[in-house]
Structure 1
Amino acid sequence: MILYGLKTCDICRKALKLLGNADFVDVRGAGVPEEVLRAAHAQFGAALLNTRSTTWRGLSESDRAGDPLALLAAHPALMKRPLIEADGELYLGWGPEVRAALGLG
């Protein structure tokens, strides 16, 4: 299991604590592998972008209108977090439905 997030993100730290066996990838330093990012975008679409982040608010309108995958590659902190890869499945966020799907009730 791999958890993609930010080491400074409280929700990512909570998720990592409950998912003790997960490998953590700090997207700000290591990024998200392109194939994972493409699969996540295909599955989650616009929900993959965190449009409430300070990074998003700092972008120009023309940047915001650009290719979402290019935006995420250039600004990994724009990704909604955490993105969890487990047994070939992708999960986005840390809501009750994600916790239940991962067997954490």
Structure 2
Amino acid sequence: MILYGIPTCDTCKKALKALQSAGREVTFRDIRAEPLSDAEIADIVTQFGDRAVNKQSTTYRSFSDFLRESEAEAQIKAQPTVMKRPVIRDGDTWHLGWDGAVQDALL
């Protein structure tokens, strides 16, 4: 299982801690320190579409009009931290965020 996020994200920290406490083997992928490849961005956007972009974030709000009107893939490529977090890949199954449904599926 891979958890994509940033170490300063409280939601990522909660998800990682809960998954490890449940005995799940999790690899944390810091998307700042180890940027996503084009293929990984494409996979995430294919799975979640525009939902992969956190449009409530200050990062998104700081985008130029041109970038705001761009595809989600271009937005994440330009600024990876605009990605909604965490993104969790469990084998072939993908999860976005850390809500009750994701927790029920993984814990």
Q: TM-score, normalised by structure 2?
A: 0.89
**2:69 maps to what in 1?**
65
The alignment partner of 1:98 has SS state of helix
CA-CA distance at 1:30 after TM superposition: 1.0
Inter-partner Cα distance in structure 2 for 1:30 and 1:3: 13
Aligned-partner SS, 2:33: helix
Q: What is the correspondence of 1:21-32 to structure 2 with a 5 Å cutoff?
A: 21-32=25-36
Which residue, 68, 77, 81 being the options, matches 2:85? 81
Alignment size in residue pairs: 103
Task: Tell me, in whole angstroms, the C-alpha distance in 1 between the residues paired with 2:81 and 2:74.
Answer: 13
- 5 Å-filtered alignment, 1:32-47, equals 32-47=36-51
For residues 57-104 of structure 1, the C-alpha deviation after alignment (integer angstroms, 9 at most, x for no partner) is 1111111111321210120100000000102111000000111111x2
- Which TM-score applies when normalising by structure 1? 0.91
- Is 1:100 the counterpart of 2:107? The answer is no
Please give the root-mean-square deviation of Cα atoms over the aligned residues, in Å: 1.1
Letter aligned with residue 14 of structure 1: K
Counterpart amino acid of residue 57 in structure 1: R
Unaligned runs of 5+ in 2: none
- The equivalent of 1:11 in structure 2 is 11
- Percent identity of paired positions between Structure 1 and Structure 2: 41
Specify every segment of 5 or more residues in structure 1 that has no aligned partner in the other structure, as ranges: none
C-alpha separation in 2, matches of 1:85 and 1:91: 6
Deviating beyond 6 angstroms after TM superposition, the runs of 4 or more aligned structure 1 residues are: none
